[in-house]
Amino acid sequence: MYDIKTFNAIAPVGLARFNEENFTINKTETPAGIILRSEKLHDYAFPTSVLAVARAGAGTNNVPVKQCTENGIVVFNTPGANANAVKELVIACLLLSVRPILKGSNWVQTLTGTDTEEQAEAQKKQFAGTELEGKKLGVIGLGAIGAMVANDAYRLGMEVTGFDPFVSVDTAWSISRRVKRAQSMEEVLKTCDFITVHVPLSENTHHLIGKEQLAQMKENAVLLNFARGELVETQAVIDALANGEISNFVTDFADERLLHNEKVLVLPHLGASTEEAEINCAKMAARTLKKFLETGNIKRSVNFPTVEMAFNSPFRFTIVHRNVPNMLGQISTGIANLEINIDTMINRSRDDYAYTIVDIAETDEEKINAAAEKIQAAENIIRVRTIKNTEAVSY
């Protein structure tokens, strides 16, 4: 029986995927898995029972990923589950950036008298805008969200240029062939009227857009950031707006320094705030976590490699270990010395860590437990699990 601890409000339809035969929700102080949305876990004291954390969203900056990795805790996210919600908001803000819709609407509310329609007609010219059709949009980062923004912006009549040196094969297939691919970020910055950023936050992308990049942009350019606040250097943007280096900034991250600036539109982190997105993220997080706990298979992890193998043997070992030479030999020898036959074995690595699945053609639980203890005691082994095969598991 696995207990799942939840932080934040997780959509019930997602939690319903944890069947009562194998799972409980928030019933013990020793959970096997955690599901969360925005709760910050950097100061959380993880029980040793925790095997995995599933973030119902794409970003994992609220999870201490490095600490989890060192302790053999697999961290999952839900890439693409909220992509449509974010895409729709980006498209809406592109429209808001060229049409003063909000200002016009607020102004109408100030009208008084019986001739409001006449007043509105007489003064509407002050709220005239421009159109997106024919303008150039640059998309930096062509993951699930960036690709959708690029495709839909093209359908609005925009000329779209994308830049992503690490675009995946799956994403490449999903991007319209009419979206031009830039060879450098500089090309996007210098040629586009609108630039939207859709890359994950990391050491390499922190302040991806700073003073140097802003100086390369057109004076009438609009910058949009709906990915992570730290991707853009806030003070550099404020200075660029004041100096006329760019025209406007639209962001989903409410930095105090950006407030009360006529050239900035700030939203209260609404990107994934739709009923559909929350449901999709909860369902994906639950499905991924459930599969990992019951089979040991890893998919959509941010700190361990993808490792999947059909589970046909009576028992399975899953082993988190350091990525050093001769680990497979050490593991297989330890099992063989206890006269246990290995049915199937798979190993994958990611940076300094690796993950190995070993299926065992053995039903003697005493021998299996002894083998697990022997493996756990070996050098460079971080965590060993023994999983008993349960028939007819569906996902």
The structural domains of the chain, with segments of one domain joined by +, span 1-77+275-304, 83-94+131-266, 306-390
Provide the pLDDT for residue 237: 98
Sign of the C-alpha dihedral, residues 238, 241, 242, 245?
positive
Quote the crossing angle between the two packed helices 83-98 and 275-295, to the nearest 10°.
150
Question: pTM of this prediction?
Answer: 0.81
How many Å apart are CA 109 and CA 262, to the nearest integer?
19
Q: Is the distance from CB of 257 to CB of 233 less than 8 angstroms?
A: no
* C-alpha distances in Å from residue 312, one per residue of 150, 198, 306: 43, 40, 19
Query: What kind of architecture, by CATH, is found in domain 1-77+275-304?
Result: 3-Layer(aba) Sandwich (3.40)
The tens place of each residue's pLDDT in the chain, 395 residues long, gives 999 999 989 999 999 999 999 999 999 999 999 999 989 999 999 999 999 999 998 889 899 999 999 999 999 999 889 999 999 999 999 999 999 999 999 999 999 998 999 999 999 999 999 999 999 999 999 988 999 999 999 999 999 999 998 877 667 667 888 899 999 999 999 999 999 999 988 889 999 999 999 999 999 999 999 999 999 999 999 999 999 999 999 999 999 999 999 999 999 999 988 999 999 999 999 999 999 999 999 999 999 999 999 999 999 999 999 999 999 998 998 888 888 999 999 999 999 999 999 999 888 888 899 999 999 999 999 999 999 997 634 33
Taking domain 306-390, whether its CATH number is 3.40.640.10 is answered by: no
Provide the pLDDT for residue 393: 41
Q: Which residue has the tokens 């799972």?
A: 23
What number of residues does the chain have? 395
Domains 83-94+131-266 and 306-390 share a fold: no
CATH of domain 83-94+131-266: 3.40.50.720
Q: Is the distance from CB of 188 to CB of 213 less than 8 angstroms?
A: no
